[in-house]
Amino acid sequence: MADRASRGLSRRSVLTRGAGAVVGGAVIGSGLVGGAVGGAAGYAGRGLLDDDEAVPDWETVADSRVVGAATEPFHGPHQAGITTPPQAHAAFLGFDLAAGATRAEVQGVLRAWSQDAARLTSGRGGLADLEPELARDPARLTVTIGLGPGLFDAVRMPEKRPSWLRQLPAFPQIDQLEDRWSGGDLLLQICADDPLVVSHAARILASGVRGVAEQKWAQRGFRKAVGTDPTGRTQRNLFGQIDGTVNPGPDDVDFDRVLFSDGRSADGQTQRWMRGGSSLVLRRIRMTMDTWEEIDRTSRELSMGRRIESGAPLTGVHEHDPADFEAVDEVGLPVIPPESHMARARQRDRGEAMLRRPYTYDDPPEPGRISNSGLIFTAYQADPVRTYIPVQRRLAEQDALNTWTVPIGSAVFALPPGAPEGGYVGQGLFEG
């Protein structure tokens, strides 16, 4: 199926192609330009096909189950759904614990989710699943479980809460947060290459825990369908923007350190149960297409700091060319405007590296509007206080793209380490 090792085999094709291929993750900005970050090998380590490799036609793919039959393992040292090459569809579900939910009940939720996730991701129905036929082709289904700040009070274990696990500081310059897209004591992130699989898994997992964990919000999003974009190529968002040029990749020596906790927070606190875990910052960002469509391509490119066609920095030719923030034009103005998204998002040091894996949303519009769309932005890292917050603070202060983007939802979750066979996600929190 789709394990990491077999993917590595096609890396040679990236390397022979040079800068044209790369990186699956993405973000609303293509900024965060680091030193050695990204480069010619994507974090999935895959790229474009060699010209001489057999490429099937649409007929062959459509009449097959190759996309549906692929699986991602649930068990392992880290949870799936973080470094997994992004699937085409995702649902993010936020839950609040019912008043009076006990520690044992919370453990029961985590155990039930882990058991059902192990079954569903391998193509079996959930334990209480009356429609196991809907689970038969998992299409690389992953289920990622997160713990929100409030959970630790609910289970009377506030001392076990990582110091970075708290709601983000307010960014009053930009935030228009709505409670219906924000917060949550528990998270389910459900991703698959088939939208029906996502719907079924979401339903099974959410309905099984009613009474203890009440679903607060659900956000569905998508990326380009499998077979419409080489996985190594960076994707575009609804602004037409090449989106996520820079992401840490598995070839980076610090890839694991960027993503996975060693149990210590940047402020020195130690939470042994979080070793191998990660964190998720989830932001729902409305993109105001109406006003975006009022500006021309040049203005768009100046806002991004990159070319639309290639994704290259305005000082370069190819997407992964390094940016020259000192370059000036014939009248002495910076070629990459200092207020451009790219210039503002640029990593100030390697500690700001994070992995982004966003999804586009396009929901039914409100009355009188043509669209209701934007980005479900996700950032994964060992410690978001060290990474996400300083970057977001700069962007809130100044970012040309803020004119057309509005954060309307915000949540932070601890993603415990993966579960071994027979164990459950979050188990370490309750042991020792």
Using CB under 8 A as the binding rule, the residues of this chain from 272 to 301 that contact a second copy are 289-290, 293, 296-297, 300
Q: Which of 131, 254, 267, 349 binds a second copy (CB under 8 A)?
A: 131
* Segment near a second copy (CB under 8 A); pick from 45-53, 170-178, 275-283, 337-345: 45-53
Cβ-Cβ contacts under 8 Å for 317 (sequence gap 6 or more) = 310
Sign of the Cα pseudo-torsion (166, 170, 171, 175, in order): positive
C-beta of 58 vs 253, nearer to a second copy: 58
* Segment near a second copy (CB under 8 A); pick from 26-34, 202-210, 318-326, 376-384: 202-210
Give min distance, CB of 240 to a second copy, in A: 3
Q: Which of 162, 230, 277, 305 binds a second copy (CB under 8 A)?
A: 230
253 burial (CB, 10 Å; 0-12 / 13-18 / 19+) is exposed
Q: Does residue 224 touch a second copy according to CB under 8 A? A: yes
Give min distance, CB of 292 to a second copy, in A: 9
**Separation in Å, CA 221 to CA 3, 109, 126, 198:** 24, 25, 23, 10
Find the binding residues for a second copy in span 177-196 (CB under 8 A).
180, 193-196
Q: Does residue 226 touch a second copy according to CB under 8 A? A: yes
Tokens read off for 6: 């077999």
Give min distance, CB of 117 to a second copy, in A: 17
Cβ-Cβ contacts under 8 Å for 311 (sequence gap 6 or more) = 30, 234, 241, 242, 245, 319
Q: Is 243 a catalytic residue?
A: yes
The one catalytic residue among 243, 252, 383, 399 = 243
DSSP state of 93: E
**Bridge partners, 90 (sequence order):** 191, 221
Q: Does residue 8 touch a second copy according to CB under 8 A? A: no
Query: What is the per-residue binding string for a second copy in 367-386, x denoting contact by CB under 8 A?
Result: x-xxx-x-------------
Q: Does residue 210 touch a second copy according to CB under 8 A? A: yes
Give min distance, CB of 149 to a second copy, in A: 22
Amino acid at 401: L
Angle at 244 between CA 36 and CA 164, to 5 degrees: 80
Q: Does residue 141 touch a second copy according to CB under 8 A? A: no
* Segment near a second copy (CB under 8 A); pick from 199-207, 259-267, 383-391, 399-407: 199-207
Residue corresponding to tokens 């990593």: 347
Q: Residue 399, SS3?
A: coil
Find the binding residues for a second copy in span 60-79 (CB under 8 A).
60-70
Q: Does residue 231 touch a second copy according to CB under 8 A? A: yes
Q: What is the number of helices (H) and of strands (E) in the chain?
A: 12, 9
Helix axes 195-207, 103-121, angle to 10 degrees: 150
Task: Tell me which residues are annotated as active site.
Answer: 243
